[in-house]
Chains A and B, each alone.
Chain A
Amino acid sequence: ETGVTQSPTHLIKTRGQQVTLRCSSQSGHNTVSWYQQALGQGPQFIFQYYREEENGRGNFPPRFSGLQFPNYSSELNVNALELDDSALYLCASSFMTGGYEQYFGPGTRLTVT
Chain B
Amino acid sequence: KQEVTQIPAALSVPEGENLVLNCSFTDSAIYNLQWFRQDPGKGLTSLLLIQSSQREQTSGRLNASLDKSSGRSTLYIAASQPGDSATYLCAVRGIATDSWGKFQFGAGTQVVVTP
Of residues 13 through 55 on chain B, the ones whose CB sits less than 8 Å from some CB of chain A are 31-32, 34, 36, 41-46, 49, 51
Contact B101 A104 (CB under 8 A): no
Report the interface size for chain B: residues with CB under 8 A from the other chain. 25
Q: A107 and B42: CB pair below 8 A?
A: yes
User: Could you say which of A13-21, A39-47, A64-72, A74-82 contacts chain B?
Assistant: A39-47
Question: Given that A48-B101, A55-B101 are contacting pairs, would A104 and B107 also be in contact in the complex, using a CB cutoff of 8 Å?
Answer: no
Determine if B107 and A41 form an interchain contact, defined as CB atoms under 8 angstroms apart.
yes
Q: Which of B36, B102, B107 has the most CB of A within 10 A?
A: B102
The reply to whether the CB of B76 lies closer than 8 angstroms to some CB of chain A is no
Chain A, 38-61, CB within 8 A of any chain B CB: 40-45, 48, 50, 55-56, 58
Instruction: Identify A102's interface contact among B100, B103, B108, CB under 8 A.
Output: B103
B46 CB contacts on chain A under 8 angstroms = 101-104
Q: With A99-B51, A107-B42 as given contacts, are A58 and B102 in contact (CB-CB < 8 Å)?
A: yes
- Cα(A106)–Cα(B43), bound, Å: 4
Taking residues whose C-beta sits less than 8 angstroms from the other chain, chain A's interface range is 20 to 34
Question: Within 8 Å of chain B (Cβ to Cβ): is A109?
Answer: yes
**A104 with B102: CB separation less than 8 A:** no
Give a binary string over A86-103; 1 marks a CB under 8 Å from any B CB, 0 the rest.
001010100000011111
Q: From A103, which residue of chain B is reached at the shortest CB distance?
A: B46
Q: Report the minimal beta-carbon distance from A46 to chain B, rounded to whole angstroms.
A: 10
- CB within 8 A of B42: which of A55, A101, A106? A106
Residues of chain A within 8 A (CB-CB) of B71 are none
- Shortest CB-to-CB span from A23 to chain B, Å, is 11
Instruction: Given A33-B103, A45-B103, A58-B102, answer yes or no on A99-B44 (Cβ-Cβ < 8 Å).
Output: no
Most buried by A among B44, B91, B104, B105: B44
Interface of A toward B, CB cutoff 8 Å = 4, 6, 33, 35, 40-45, 48, 50, 55-56, 58, 88, 90, 92, 99-107, 109
